[in-house]
Amino acid sequence: MHHPKKERTLVIVKPDGVQRTLIGEILKRFERTGFKLVGIKMTVPTEAHIEKHYTLNPEWSRITGEKTIASYVKKGEKPWSEDPLEVTKVVLNNLKKYMTSGPIVVMVWEGAHAVDVVRKITGGTEPRTSDVGTIRGDFVLDSYTMADTDKRAVRNLIHSSGNIKEAEMEIEHWFNKKELVDYRLIQDSILYDVNMDGILE
């Protein structure tokens, strides 16, 4: 097992994040926490690349379908299908349209418990209920209701990997090994040195 300080996760500034000129703001939130940027690129992805991204985890389609159906039932409404996979087909189509509508910024962040902590900074999936202080809570106000009414994907600014396995698959999907850089930051010694003995002269 790697030391937790070596954990890596994938973050995408989605097309609405780029259009809202929030790239710097989003980068800053991860940087100031102590994470190290080890890979970054701007690209306009293809629909095939986006579909693959969301289906790297074979369970994603079923889970997202079930989650979406549950949110309809909770509202006392009927989903457009009872079959989770059929429900996800629509969600995925909307996602493909959304994610290929313009440039995105894809990056890999490294640091202690990167996956969990980056998720915490990202905030919950639906901006309407994402916590204040998170990126989704602070910078956008979309909801599933609005997205479903307008038959489009929810605009939640960024993506971040949901767990370590997802992160590994997603990083491989977006970057080749050569595009990721191993290097030291001056601040690493303050974050991770065991003795903090290099400060005083």
Which x/- pattern, by CB under 6 A, does the window 61-100 give for ligand GDP?
Answer: ---x--xx--x-------------------x---x-----
List, as one string, the DSSP characters of 108-161. EEESTTHHHHHHHHH--SSTTTSPTTSHHHHH----HHHHHHTTS----SEEE-
Nearest 5°: the CA angle 80, 145, 62 is 45
Q: Give me the residues that bind Mg ion (CB under 5 A), please.
A: 162
CB of 162 to ligand GDP, least distance (A): 5
159 is an active site residue: yes
Residues 108-137 that bind ligand GDP (CB under 6 A): 125
Instruction: State the DSSP code for 4.
Output: G
Binding partner at 84 among Mg ion, ligand GDP, none, C-beta below 5 to 8 Å by kind: none
CB-wise, 9 or 156, nearer to ligand GDP? Answer: 156
Q: Is 80 exposed, middle or buried (0-12, 13-18, 19+ CB in 10 A)?
A: middle
Residues annotated as catalytic are 159
Interacting residues toward ligand GDP by CB under 6 A: 64, 67-68, 71, 91, 95, 125, 144, 147-148, 153-154, 156, 159, 162
